[in-house]
Amino acid sequence: EAEVAQSPRYKITEKSQAVAFWCDPISGHATLYWYRQILGQGPELLVQFQDESVVDDSQLPKDRFSAERLKGVDSTLKIQPAELGDSAMYLCASSLAAGQGRTYEQYFGPGTRLTVT
Amino acid sequence: AQKVTQAQTEISVVEKEDVTLDCVYETRDTTYYLFWYKQPPSGELVFLIRRNSFDEQNEISGRYSWNFQKSTSSFNFTITASQVVDSAVYFCALSEVYSGAGSYQLTFGKGTKLSVIP
3-state SS string for chain B: CCEEECCCCEEEEECCCCEEECCEEECCCCCEEEEEEEECCCCCCEEEEEEECCCCCCEEECCEEEEEEHHHCEEEEEECCCCHHHCEEEEEEEEECCCCCCCCCEEECCCEEEEEEC
With vertex at residue A35, the alpha carbon angle to CA A108 and CA A53, rounded to the nearest 5 degrees, is 90
User: Rounded to whole angstroms, how far apart are CA atoms B76 and B96?
Assistant: 18
User: Rounded to whole angstroms, how far apart are CA atoms A75 and B75?
Assistant: 33
What proportion of chain A, given as a percentage, has pLDDT over 70? 94
Q: Nearest-CA residue of chain B relative to A4?
A: B44
In the prediction, which pLDDT does A77 show?
Answer: 98
In the prediction, which pLDDT does A99 show?
Answer: 66
Three-state SS across A14-73? CCCCCEEEEEECCCCCCEEEEEEECCCCCCEEEEEEECCEEEECCCCCCCCEEEECCCCC
Closest CB to A108 among B4, B45, B105:
B45
Query: pLDDT averaged over chain A?
Result: 92
Q: Which residues of chain B have pLDDT under 70?
A: 98-103
Instruction: Please give the backbone phi and psi of residue A72, each rounded to the nearest 5 degrees, phi first.
Output: 75, 15
**Does the beta-carbon distance from A55 to B103 stay under 8 Å?**
yes
Which residues of chain B have a CB within 8 Å of the CB of A105? 35, 47, 50
Mean pLDDT for the stretch of residues A13-25: 97
Mean pLDDT for the stretch of residues A35-53: 93
pLDDT greater than 90 at residue A91:
yes
**Does the beta-carbon distance from A42 to B33 stay under 8 Å?**
no
- Taking the CB of residue A105, how many other CB atoms lie within 10 A of it? 18
In the prediction, which pLDDT does A100 show?
Answer: 61
